[in-house]
Amino acid sequence: MIGKDFTEKGRYGTIVKCAEKTNLNTATVEAPVIVESKKNLRKSLTMVFGCTLLGATAQILIKSGLKLLPQHAGLFELILIGLTNWQLMMGLCLYGGSTVLLVLALRYGELSMLYPVIALTYVWVAMLSLIFFHESVNIFKATGLLMIVGGVCVLGLSQKK
Amino acid sequence: MSTPNSSIALVLAASFIGSFGATFLKGGADRLERNFKSLLTNWRLFAGVATYLSSFLVYTAGIRNGELTVLYPMVSLGYVWTLLWSRIFFNEPLTKGKFMGLGMILAGILVLNLGNK
């Protein structure tokens, strides 16, 4: 399915070019398009996976950082306190990192396949909240999370053909 | 507590704006090169981040009033918009697997939010 895209669409030309470059460096034989596209699929999925992990950790850090801010304070004071709050700052940095990973992933794969995978963030956030904030789990939450994981699997597997 | 229409409108607008964030990032990613200058002149990447930030601001304004369990799942409508843009702007094939996967994810988000009540 993806192999067909390579021949049909010009925008994948950049990826093919980049693959040829690395092949020159490592002095291997040029791989067939199908193998290359499978490699790209795995690469992009791994990157988006990392992106959701970073994003979820960022959310948890920001939430615990916000809890430490005073209830009544001026905007200037809040910004000063916020800047010295390591959880908030670390959370923002991780958000930056997750955006960089997303861009790198999008380089190797389709937007329509990779973007829905970001919903995995919900799963990590729920699991981390369970550990760090002792939030409860119920049948709805568990079912919802399983459905999201199932959906991501369907997306990933449908591309493998 | 009821959810005012203005909150719903703001959150829907945020999901619409946010879907362009991903689209700009994809456009920028396709033009990525291994040198610093091309990174700085890649306006699509900057537009993507700016679009995300503005979508976040609109979203924050939206969830000030109203029920989060109603408003939160509405953000995931952004996934549907993104699917549409990837077809229009990047000519990506919309396969049965993509629709099924996204459908399951959206349903999962809805069910997940029922548990937050």
Q: Are A56 and A98 in contact (CB under 8 A)?
A: no
Please give the interface size between A and B, counted as residue pairs whose CB atoms are below 8 Å apart. 140
Q: Is B97 left (phi over 0), alpha (psi -120 to 50) or beta?
A: alpha
- Give the gyration radius of chain A's Cα atoms: 20
Query: CA-CA distance, B60 to A1, in Å (whole number)?
Result: 40
Mark yes or no for CB contact A119/B100 under 8 Å.
Answer: no
DSSP state of B66: S
Residues of chain B in contact with residue A110, where contact means CB-CB under 8 angstroms, are: 86, 90, 92
Residue-wise pLDDT for A102-127, tens only, equals 999 999 999 999 999 999 998 999 89
Residues of chain B in contact with residue A146, where contact means CB-CB under 8 angstroms, are: 108
Query: CA-CA distance, A60 to A159, in Å (whole number)?
Result: 32
Residue-wise pLDDT for A31-66, tens only, equals 566 677 888 888 999 999 999 999 999 999 988 888
Mark yes or no for CB contact B45/A103 under 8 Å.
Answer: yes
Mark yes or no for CB contact A155/B97 under 8 Å.
Answer: yes
pLDDT level of residue A16 (50, 70, 90 thresholds)? very low
Report domain extents, chain A: 40-160
At B14, the amino acid letter reads A
HEC readout, chain A: CHHHHHHHCHHHHHHHHHHHHHHHHHCCCCCCHHHHHHHHHHHHHHHHHHHHHHHHHHHHHHHHHHHCCCCCCCHHHHHHHHHCCHHHHHHHHHHHHHHHHHHHHHHHCCHHHHHHHHHHHHHHHHHHHHHHCCCCCCHHHHHHHHHHHHHHHHHHHHHHC
Place of tokens 């994809």: B26
Q: Which of B97, B105, B115 minimises the CB distance to A158? A: B97
Mark yes or no for CB contact A111/B79 under 8 Å.
Answer: no
For the ranges A8-12, A99-103, A114-118, B45-49, which has the lowest average pLDDT? A8-12
Residues of chain B in contact with residue A15, where contact means CB-CB under 8 angstroms, are: none
pLDDT level of residue B105 (50, 70, 90 thresholds)? very high
Q: CA nearest A110: which of B79, B50, B87?
A: B87
Mark yes or no for CB contact A99/B116 under 8 Å.
Answer: no
DSSP state of B35: S
Query: CA-CA distance, B107 to B113, in Å (whole number)?
Result: 10
Average pLDDT over residues B61-85: 86
pTM to 2 decimal places:
0.79
Position A4 scores a pLDDT of: 39
> Degrees (nearest 5) of the Cα angle A123, A125, A131?
110
Position B117 scores a pLDDT of: 66
Q: Please report the beta strands in B23-85, taking only residues with DSSP state E, as ranges in sequence order.
A: none
Q: Pick the residue of A111, A152, A155 with the most B CBs within 10 A to test the interface with B by mutation.
A: A111
Q: Are A148 and B104 in contact (CB under 8 A)?
A: yes
Average pLDDT over residues A79-92: 88
Mark yes or no for CB contact A112/B114 under 8 Å.
Answer: no
Q: Which of B23, B48, B105 minimises the CB distance to A152? A: B105
Mark yes or no for CB contact A141/B112 under 8 Å.
Answer: yes
- Sign of the dihedral through C-alpha A93, A53, A120, A160: positive
Which of residues B78 and B68 earns the better pLDDT score? B78
How many angstroms separate the CA of residue B58 from the nearest CA in chain A?
18
